[in-house]
Structure 1
Amino acid sequence: MGRNHGITNWDPEDAAAWEAGNNKIARRNLLWIIACDHIAFGVWTLFPVMALFMPQNVYGLSAADKFLLGATATFVAACLRIPYSLGIATFGGRNWTVFSIVVLLVPTAGTIWLLAHPGLPLWPYLVCAALTGMGGANYAASMTNTNFFYPHRRKGFALGFNAGAGNLGVPMIQLVGLLVIAIAGHRQPYWVCGLYLLLLTAVALGATRYMDNLAHATYDVSHLRSILSERDTWVLAMLYLGTFGSWIGFSFAFGQVLQINFVGTGQSHADAALHAAEFAFIGPALGSVARIYGGRLADRIGGSRVTLAVLATMGIATAFLLALSTHDDRTPGLTTTATMVGYVCGFMALFILAGLGNGSVYKMIPSVFEARSHRLGLTDTDRRRWSQATSGAVIGFVAAFGALGGVGINLALRQSYLSTGTDTLAFWIFLFFYVGAAVLTWARYVRRPVSAVPEAADSQANTEFARV
C-alpha cells in the first residue's frame, strides 16, 4: 500500500521502456483488471442464473417476466458504459475499478433478500436486476483502461484477453449455479450470492493494492462529442451490436430458452432447471475463450476479414435454428431429443462465432483510427495522442451500444413467446440482422483497406483535436 499508484509519462509505443519494465506493469494491471471484470460479469448475470431457482408457482414470475429481468440488467449496463469509461479518465483506472467493484455488493446482498421473500411483485426484482447492470458497465471502463496500457501491436491480444477472460465470469457463475442445484437443490440459491460477496471483497482489495492510475490516460466529453460525427463510430457500433450483443444476449437467455424447451419434453420444472443449467454455462464459456483467439486471429489476418466471416457464418447458424424451430412448431406432440440436440449445437456455434467476432471488432477500432491519424497532418506525438484518445472514446461508446444487442435479443425472445408461444419469430429477426451486418462489413472495410476509406470528417477531426 506504501508505493505510489500514479504513473506519469506512460508511452506504450516506446519499445525500450516497454522491454525495460513497462510490459510487467501493464501485465500486472491487466491481470487485476481481468479479475475485477470477471467477478463483475458474474454479478451482471446473477438474475439469469437465479431464474433457474425461481419456479413460477413459488415466485409468481412467468418466462416473459424473467426475460424482462435480463433485458433490464443489460439495458442499464448499456446506459452506464459511457459514464463508466469516462470514470476511468476522471478518477484513474485503479480508483474507479475499486469503486465499481465495491458498489456491486449492494445488488448481490439485495438478491439474497429478494430470494428469501418469495411472492413479491415484479418491480423489486426489476430494481435489483437494474443494479446488477453496474457489473456489465465495468466492461467499458476495463477495456478503455487496457487500451491505454498496451502498444498498438499488442492491442488485439490485450483487448481480446481482457474481454475473453473477463467474459468468463458469465459461464463461471452459471457453473456455480449448476453445482449448487446439483448439490444443495434448486431451493438453495443463497450459496451463489454469498460466494460472490466474498469474491467481490477479494478483488476490490487486490485492485487497491496492485493497480495503478495513468495520469494522462484520458479522454473527455469533447472527444466523445467528436466521435459521434464519425461514420466509422456508428458502423463499428453496429458490428459490435451483432457480435457482443449476441454473446451477452444469448448468455442471458440461453438457460431460460433451454428450460422452456426441456419442459416441452415433459420434464418437471426442477428437472428442466437442472438440465438447462448443465448446458447453459458451456456456450458462454466457449464464446469467452473464442474471443481471445478472435483478437489473435485479427492481429494476424485483419479484423475486418475475421468479422465478415463471423457474421456470415452466424447467419448460417441462425438459419439452421430457424429451420429447426419451424419444424418443431409444425410437429405435434412433445419436443424430441433430436430437436433439443439441434438447439444446443446451433446455439453453441453462435456463441463461438460471437466470441470470435467480439475480439475481431475490438481489434478493428484502434486499427481504423490509427490509419485515420496518418491523414490528419499532425506531428507524430499529437497523432498518437489523437489515435489513443479517439479509439478510447470509441471503445467506450461501442461497448455501450453493443450491450443494447443483449436487450434486443431478450426483448425479441420475450415478444416471440408472448405472441406465438415459440422462439421462431425471434430467429427471423436475428437472421435478417446478421445478413445486413455482414454486407455492411464487406462494403465498408473488406472491399478496400481501412487506410483507403475516405473520410470527409478528417479535417473536422483535426480541428476538434486542436481545440481540445
Structure 2
Amino acid sequence: MSTMVDTASPAPQAKRGGRWIDHWEPEDPQFWESTGKKVARKNLIFSILAENLGFTVWSLMSIVVVSLGSVGFSFTVGQTFWLLIVPNLVGAVLRIPYTFAVPKFGGRAWTTISAGLLLIPCVMLVVAVTNPTTPYWFFLLTSAAMGFGGGNFSSSMANISFFYPEGKKGLALGLNAAGGNLGVAMVQLVVPIVIALGTGVNLAYAALFWMPFIVVATACAWFFMDSLTQAKPDGTSYKKAMSNKHTWVMSFLYIGTFGSFIGFSFAFPSLIKLSFVDYKSFVGLAFLGALIGSVSRPFGGWLSDRFGGARITLMTFVGLGIGTSGLLVSIDIRSFPLFFGSFIGLFVLAGIGNGSTYRMIPAIFATQSDDLKSAKRQAAAVVGIAGAIGAFGGVLVNLVFKFSLEGSKTLAPALTAFLVFYGLCVATTWWFYMRRRVFARVPSLAYAGV
C-alpha cells in the first residue's frame, strides 16, 4: 500500500491500492526527512538488486562462450563473436522502450516484469547446453533473449530518478548504475567456479545458479517497491532533446566510455583465450576488469564535481589512447602481463569516463535554457538516449574485434581503430566543451561542472 503524506503535517492520509504513491515531493525538506528518504532508499535497494541481475544475465554469454568447446560445441571465431554481439545489440535497442515503460506501467510493476523476463534466457541456456545437437541458431536466439537484461538499466535509472531530489540524484543514480555494472564482474567471477562443480564442465549451472536470485528479485520488486503517479511520460522533452546537438555529441562520447566498458567486458575473456593460448587459465581473472570499471564509475562523478566533467572526460580519452597503445605493444612483443595490465587500465578509465560524461549532461543542459525544470527534463531524456547509444557502442567494439581476428588473425587492426576513435573523442570533447570561445559564449559552462 502507498503512503500519502501532507508536507505541512507528515501524518499518513488515505491509501490507494497497488502500491501507487500519489503525493511525492522530494524537494520539500520536511517531506523528505519524514517520509521520502526512507521510501526512496527502499526502492533504490531493490532496484539495484534487479538491475544487477539484469547485467548478470546480459553478460552471461561472455563467459559461457569460453567453455562451449569443452562440452562439444565447435564454433568459429566469427560465430563466437556473434554470440557476444547479439545480446549487446538487443540490449541497446530495448533501452529506449524500457525508459518509457516506467511511466506507463509504474516502477514497481515494470521492475517486476523486467526482472521476471530474465528467467527466459536462463531456461533457454539450460536447454541449449544440455543438448549436444543444439543448432547454432538456438544459441543466437538465447543470446538475443539475454538482451532483456541490457534494457533494465534505462528503466531502473529512469525510475529511481523520480524518487530523489535534485541534490541527491547524483549519488543515488551513481550507486544504481555501479550496482548494475557490478553484475558483469559477478558473472565472470562466479560462473567459472560454478560450472566446475562436480565432474567435468557443467554449463547448465551457469544459468541455474542465477535463477533463484532472479525469483527473489522479482518477488521483492512486487512486494516492496512502489510506483509514483507523477512519473509521467515526457514526450516534449524527448523531442527537444532529439533536436539539440549536444544530445548527439554526448551520445558519441558515451559510446567511447560505456561502449568501451561493456564491449571490453563481453570480449575480455575470449580475447585472453584467443590471443594468449598459454595463459587461458587466466580467463578466470577477467572479472577484475568489469569489477574495477564498475567501482571507478562513481569516482568519475566525484572527480568531475571537483575539476569539471569535460576536463575529466578529455583526460579519460587521452588515457584510453595510452592504454590502447600499451595493448598494441603487448600484442607485438607477446607480453601477457602488459596485455592484462593495459586492459585493466582501460576498464578503470572507461568507468571514470562513464561517471564524468553522465555528470556533464545536466550541467550542459542547465546552460541551454532559462527554464530550469525544462532543462532537467531534457537532461533526463538525454541520459536515456545516450544510454541506448552507448550500449550500441558495445556492439561496435565486438564487431571490430570480430573482423580483426577473422581478417588478420590479430587484434592489431582493431586496436588501431580504437586508438583513432579515442583521438576523435579527445578532439570532440575539446571542440565542444573546452575551447576558450565556448566559455566566452556561454560563461556558465565553466562553472557548471562541464
TM-score normalised according to structure 1 size:
0.87
Match for residue 458 of structure 1?
Answer: none
How many angstroms apart in 2 are the aligned matches of 1:448 and 1:184? 63
Residue of structure 2 aligned with 1:258, choices 248, 259, 272: 272
1:139 matched to 2:145: no
Match for residue 395 of structure 1?
Answer: 383
Q: Is the 8 A contact 1:48 1:66 kept in 2?
A: no
Distance 1:43-1:186 versus aligned 2 partners, 3 A rule: farther
Q: CA deviation at 1:317?
A: 0.7
Residue deviations 1:104-160, cap 9 Å, x none?
A: 111110000000112433211111101110101100111112222222322322222
Match for residue 321 of structure 1?
Answer: 327
1:176 matched to 2:190: yes
1:243 matched to 2:231: no
How many angstroms apart in 1 are the aligned matches of 2:38 and 2:2? 19
Q: Is the 8 A contact 1:7 1:215 kept in 2?
A: yes
Residue deviations 1:241-282, cap 9 Å, x none?
A: 11011000000000000011232x3x7xxxx2x431x21101
Match for residue 223 of structure 2?
Answer: 209
Match for residue 293 of structure 2?
Answer: 287
Q: CA deviation at 1:57?
A: 8.0
1:305 matched to 2:337: no
1:405 matched to 2:412: no
Q: Is the 8 A contact 2:195 2:206 kept in 1?
A: no
Q: CA deviation at 1:232?
A: 0.9
How many angstroms apart in 2 are the aligned matches of 1:253 and 1:65? 13
**Relative to structure 2, which stretch is displaced further, 126-135 or 177-186?**
177-186
Match for residue 357 of structure 2?
Answer: 361
Match for residue 429 of structure 1?
Answer: 417
TM-score normalised according to structure 2 size:
0.90
How many angstroms apart in 2 are the aligned matches of 1:213 and 1:417? 47
Residue deviations 1:60-101, cap 9 Å, x none?
A: 212221111111100111111000001012111111111111
Q: Is the 8 A contact 1:303 1:363 kept in 2?
A: yes
Q: Is the 8 A contact 1:156 1:362 kept in 2?
A: no
Unpaired segments ≥5 residues, structure 2? 4-15, 443-450
How many angstroms apart in 2 are the aligned matches of 1:98 and 1:452? 48
Task: Name the structure, 1 or 2, with higher relative contact order (CA <8 Å, separation 6+).
Answer: 1
Instruction: Summarize the alignment of residues 66-465 of structure 1 with structure 2, pairs less than 5 Å apart.
Output: 66-184=80-198, 187-263=201-277, 265=278, 272=280, 274-276=281-283, 278-325=284-331, 327-328=332-333, 335=334, 339-373=335-369, 375=370, 378=371, 383-384=372-373, 386-447=374-435
SS in 2 for 1:55: helix
**Relative to structure 2, which stretch is displaced further, 200-209 or 363-372?**
363-372
Q: Is the 8 A contact 2:185 2:288 kept in 1?
A: yes
Q: Give the percent of matched residue pairs that are identical in Structure 1 and Structure 2.
A: 38
Distance 1:452-1:43 versus aligned 2 partners, 3 A rule: farther
What value does the CA root-mean-square deviation take over the aligned residues? 2.2
How many angstroms apart in 2 are the aligned matches of 1:449 and 1:302? 17
SS in 2 for 1:387: helix
Residue deviations 1:359-413, cap 9 Å, x none?
A: 111122222223323x2xx4xxxx42x2342222211111100001100110000
How many angstroms apart in 2 are the aligned matches of 1:448 and 1:22? 42
Q: How many residues align?
A: 429
Q: Is the 8 A contact 1:218 1:389 kept in 2?
A: no
Q: Is the 8 A contact 2:330 2:336 kept in 1?
A: no
Q: Is the 8 A contact 1:159 1:295 kept in 2?
A: no
Unpaired segments ≥5 residues, structure 1? 329-334, 455-468
Match for residue 77 of structure 2?
Answer: 63
Match for residue 463 of structure 1?
Answer: none
The amino acid across from 2:131 in the alignment is H
How many angstroms apart in 2 are the aligned matches of 1:148 and 1:235? 25
Residue deviations 1:391-447, cap 9 Å, x none?
A: 222111111000011001100000000000011100011111111111211221233
Q: CA deviation at 1:185?
A: 5.8
Q: Is the 8 A contact 1:157 1:299 kept in 2?
A: no
How many angstroms apart in 1 are the aligned matches of 2:133 and 2:86? 20
Q: Is the 8 A contact 2:90 2:147 kept in 1?
A: yes
Q: CA deviation at 1:7?
A: 2.1
How many angstroms apart in 2 are the aligned matches of 1:275 and 1:393? 41
The amino acid across from 1:355 in the alignment is G
**Relative to structure 2, which stretch is displaced further, 114-123 or 287-296?**
114-123
How many angstroms apart in 2 are the aligned matches of 1:9 and 1:451? 41
How many angstroms apart in 2 are the aligned matches of 1:57 and 1:421? 25
How many angstroms apart in 1 are the aligned matches of 2:146 and 2:322? 33
The amino acid across from 1:366 in the alignment is P
Q: Is the 8 A contact 2:87 2:144 kept in 1?
A: yes
Distance 1:176-1:47 versus aligned 2 partners, 3 A rule: same
Q: Is the 8 A contact 1:170 1:284 kept in 2?
A: yes
Match for residue 38 of structure 2?
Answer: 24
